[in-house]
Homo-oligomer: A and B are copies of this chain.
Amino acid sequence: MLDTVPIVRIYKKGKGKPKSIEDTVVVEHALAIRLDKKELVTLLCSPEKLEYLAVGFLCSEGLIKEKEDIKEIVLDEDKGIIEIATAQHGKTAKDEVSKRLIGSSGARGIDVGSFGRQTVESTLAITPVEIFGLIEDFIHRSEVFDATGGVHSAALCDTRQILVFSEDIGRHNAIDKVLGECVLNEIPTDGHILVTSGRVSSEIVNKVVRSNIPVLISKSAPTNRGVRLAADLGITLIGFVREGRMNLYTHTGRVIIDGS
């Protein structure tokens, strides 16, 4: 469930010196479900109770109804594959799931690994004071729009200000709205900063990489896989920016710490 990663913790001026420490992050696991020898879906999940997850998923999808529908379950934890054989004959479950609906916080068909990806290169540099300033603006704008407390926000920024801001019930959607606005209005994303209210999973890092954005800042925590992918792909990942502190997870060289 939990993993540790090395981070640099930075505090607001006067609140403490930067510290290199180990911090806890949540584990993001990929589980491929194969139903009757056909690949059905890959779920990103926590790595516990994987048999229950697979069976519950099939049940929620209406592919099985009860225990008797299941003939065999074989879990290969190392490979992240679970094979489920059902008692039904001939019916191809895959067809039923192929018409896919993407939920409000849902991931999309992005590959999980970093294999073959270009890393993001940029000489962008930012100071902690600028990061705290951006996050303050970001939170202020979010509060103005979000009366219900259930909405995610995302923004494209330079080191001084928010350039594009969007919100949505889904953290992926909020980011896609920002990136779509940049495409349609020809606002460059290269060498800029993306701020998100939501957790940074591997899919979010992939999104940022595709738009060649070198710095990703989140109010929330990353997953271990998000951290690993950011490290592999040249992204400066900054998380948990709240209450006068922040965590630098990867490629910390772009953050200019003045030793205060």
- Using a CB–CB cutoff of 8 Å, the interface residues on chain A facing chain B are 1-2, 24-28, 30, 41-46, 48-49, 51-57, 59-62, 64, 66-67, 96-112, 145, 147-151, 166-173, 175-181, 183-184, 186, 199, 201, 203, 206-207, 210-211, 220-221, 223
* For the complex of A and B, 5 pairs with smallest distance between CB atoms: A103-B107, A56-B180, A56-B176, A105-B105, A52-B180
B108-A173 in contact (CB<8A): no
A164 smallest CB distance to B (angstroms): 9
* Chain B residues with CB under 8 A of A149: 221
Which residue of B64, B111, B166 contacts A183 across the interface (Cβ within 8 Å)?
B64
A128 smallest CB distance to B (angstroms): 22
* A98 CA to B41 CA, complexed, in Å: 10
B184-A60 in contact (CB<8A): no
Known contacts being A46-B168, A102-B107, A106-B102, is A25 close to B148, with CB within 8 Å? yes
Provide 26 A-B residue pairs closer than 8 Å at the C-beta atoms, listed in order of the A residue. A26-B150, A27-B169, A44-B101, A45-B104, A46-B173, A49-B177, A52-B181, A53-B173, A54-B180, A55-B179, A59-B180, A60-B110, A64-B183, A66-B183, A97-B108, A101-B109, A101-B110, A102-B107, A103-B108, A103-B172, A104-B107, A105-B106, A105-B107, A105-B171, A106-B106, A150-B220
